[in-house]
Amino acid sequence: MTEATEARRIGDPDPRVNRLNRKRLLIVTVALLLVAVPGVFYFSGAYDHWQDGRSLADTCRGSVDTSEIKELLGTDRLRGHDIAEDEGANPRAGRLHKCSVGVPDGGSWVSVALDWNPDAAGSLHDFGGFTPYGDVGMAIPFGHGWQGVMDQVPMTDGLVAMVNVPCANHHSDPRHSSLIVTVQGNAMRSTERAVQRARFARTTVRTAQNAAKAWGCEAQTGTAVDRVPVNTADAEVKPGAASGTCAGIRTTVRESATDPKAPIENCYLLPDTGSSHYRLSAFYGPFVQALPAQAGYGGEFDPEKPSGHKETTFWASAECPSGGPALYIATRIPDEDRFLQPDGRLAKEALKEFATRSAKRHGCKDLKLP
């Protein structure tokens, strides 16, 4: 007796029918899964997070540190993309790389620009321009052994930071002897809070460390950044009371904290009216050669001369342990009416005090003054 006959005799379904039904059920189940699983993956948000992770892994070769950026921007999602040179304002032909991460479909973002040290002019431009006759912020140092500075972007809720990272494996190659990382952030929460400023500095240095690995720079780095000096961009210091970058200058000033690794230092002289009459700036490392490339400096001073005086500009220089020079420069800042009468004696005396203290702090010798 066959299996089918026996099944019919005892009233059971035909086994062949059972097998066919099971096969049909399996096909229907698989089809439903093929339709349902992608839908669940997509509508649950898992797809968006997968896309976020994939974009961030590719952005600046995965060097952007996003652990702090989510707190900076107040979001749990970030999307990244690399920026072509013709996408951004003020593109730089020599720029190594540029990328951005931000809130998907939102207005908050953080951008990262990478430059080798010969192209520091682009970094200096991004940090604040440093055009003569302008207030370009305070260049507040990171500290903790980093050659980094940061500032609040005027009239916005943004921050900008820049760090120069020497490469131990490229001493003999002046084109790649250091990597400069510039980070700009827009629409961040509470940029005046100390915790946010420290978070922004950490984002910058961690991104710099990752970028150094990605581009083959054996980075000489500082230590962990747990805090940064307070923002003193708008704080006036009475004559003789300065203790930071303007120490020793006996007029009303605006100044920042000092650090022997800071690649840029600023001090503003505010005699009488409260508006800045002069800006004193110190530049170290790659930023010395970058300054003449900034708009407006063509005829303001002669970078071929170690010190001098042109019109209302004074400059000085020193030789530093790195083997490169330091540049100290005083530039006049007109008031709003543009009728400011320059005080050359004040500028020259203040530059001498500023340069002498800054050079000593950075271990530089052979200071040449105008």
Condensed to tens digits (0 to 9), the pLDDT of residues 51-91 reads 545 557 778 999 998 888 888 888 888 888 888 654 444 44
Say how far residue 13 (Cα) sits from the centre of its chain: 75
What is the model's pLDDT at position 41? 37
**Same domain, residue pair 213 and 329:** no
The pLDDT value recorded for residue 40 is 43
Pairing label, strands 253-255, 325-332: unpaired
- Which of 231, 253, 269 is the last residue before a domain boundary? 231
In a domain, 56, yes or no: no
310 bridge partner residues: 313
Within-domain flag for 49: no
Tokens, residue 249: 């200058």
Higher local confidence (pLDDT), 65 or 97: 97
Q: For residue 45, how many C-alpha atoms fall within 13 Å in the half-sphere facing its CB?
A: 3
Q: Are 186 and 107 in contact (CB under 8 A)?
A: yes
Is 138 contained in some domain? yes
If asked whether residues 206 and 150 sit together in one domain, one would say yes
Count the Cβ atoms, other than its own, within 10 Å of residue 44.
Answer: 10
Higher pLDDT, 127 or 51: 127
For the cut 50, the answer to whether the pLDDT of residue 116 exceeds it is yes
Select the more confidently predicted residue: 7 or 321.
321
Q: Which residues pair with 221 in a beta bridge?
A: none
Cα end-to-end span (Å), the chain: 118
Q: What's the mean pLDDT in 7-13?
A: 51
Other C-beta atoms within 10 Å of 284: how many?
Answer: 25
In a domain, 256, yes or no: yes
Q: pLDDT at residue 367 above 60?
A: yes
Has residue 191 been placed in a domain? yes
Query: 39: pLDDT confidence band, cut at 50, 70 and 90?
Result: very low
pLDDT at 259: 97
Interval 1-18 mean pLDDT: 53
Distance (Å, whole) CA 139 – CA 325? 19
For residues 62 and 20, give the distance between their C-alpha atoms in angstroms, rounded to a whole number: 52
Q: pLDDT tens digits, residue range 189-246?
A: 776 688 899 999 999 999 999 999 999 999 989 999 999 999 888 899 999 999 999 9
- 212 and 165 in one domain? yes
Higher pLDDT, 90 or 248: 248
Is 27 part of any domain? yes
Q: Residue 64, class by beta-carbon neighbours within 10 Å (0-12 exposed, 13-18 middle, 19+ buried)?
A: buried
Q: In what side-by-side order are the strands of the sheet with 97-102?
A: 79-82, 97-102, 109-116, 178-186, 159-166, 147-152, 140-141
Task: Please report the pLDDT score of residue 255 as a whole number.
Answer: 96
Beta-carbon count within 10 A of 294 CB: 18
pLDDT for the residue 204 = 96
> What's the confidence (pLDDT) of residue 258?
97
pLDDT digits (tens, 9 = 90+) for 332-357: 887 655 455 667 888 999 999 999 99
**Residues 345 and 286 occupy one common structural domain:** yes
Q: How many Å apart are CA 363 and CA 326, to the nearest integer?
A: 11
Report helix, strand and coil shares of the chain as percent, to nearest 5: 35, 20, 45
As a whole number, mean pLDDT of residues 290-308 equals 85
Average confidence (pLDDT) over 150-172 = 85
At residue 107, the pLDDT reads: 80
SS3 string, 153-174, reads CCCCCCEEEEEEEEEHHHCCCH
Q: Which of 2-6, 80-84, 94-98, 308-312 has the lowest mean pLDDT?
A: 2-6
* The pLDDT of residue 35 is above 60: no
- Mean pLDDT over 22-43 rounds to 55
Of 231, 249, 265, which residue is a domain's last?
Answer: 231
Nearest to 235 by CA among 340, 137, 331: 137
Q: Domain check: are 89 and 210 in the same one? A: yes
The yes-or-no verdict on residue 9 having pLDDT over 80 is no
Residue 236 is predicted with a pLDDT of: 93
Quote the pTM value.
0.82
Q: What is the pLDDT of residue 303?
A: 87
Q: What is the mean predicted confidence (pLDDT) over 147-175?
A: 86
How many secondary structure helices (H) and strands (E) does the chain include? 8, 14
Over residues 101-123, the mean pLDDT reads 89
Residue 132 and residue 109 in contact, taking contact as beta carbons nearer than 8 Å: no
Q: Considering the domain boundaries, does residue 166 fall inside one? A: yes
Q: Is residue 10 scored above 80 in pLDDT?
A: no
Q: How confident is the model at residue 148 (pLDDT cuts 50, 70, 90)?
A: very high
One domain, residues 227 and 286: no
Same domain for 114 and 226, yes or no, is: yes
Question: What was the pLDDT predicted at 340?
Answer: 55
pLDDT attached to residue 37 = 45
Q: What pLDDT score does 129 carry?
A: 75
Q: Are residues 69 and 203 in the same domain?
A: yes
Domain that residue 9 falls in: 3-43
Give the model confidence (pLDDT) of 221-235 as tens digits: 999 999 999 988 889
51 within some domain: no
According to DSSP, the residues that pair with 99 across neighbouring strands are: 82, 112
Whether residue 209 is found in the same domain as residue 242: no
Q: How many domains are contained in the chain?
A: 3
Q: Are residues 84 and 115 in the same domain?
A: yes
Q: Do residues 7 and 81 share a domain?
A: no
Q: Are residues 268 and 358 in the same domain?
A: yes
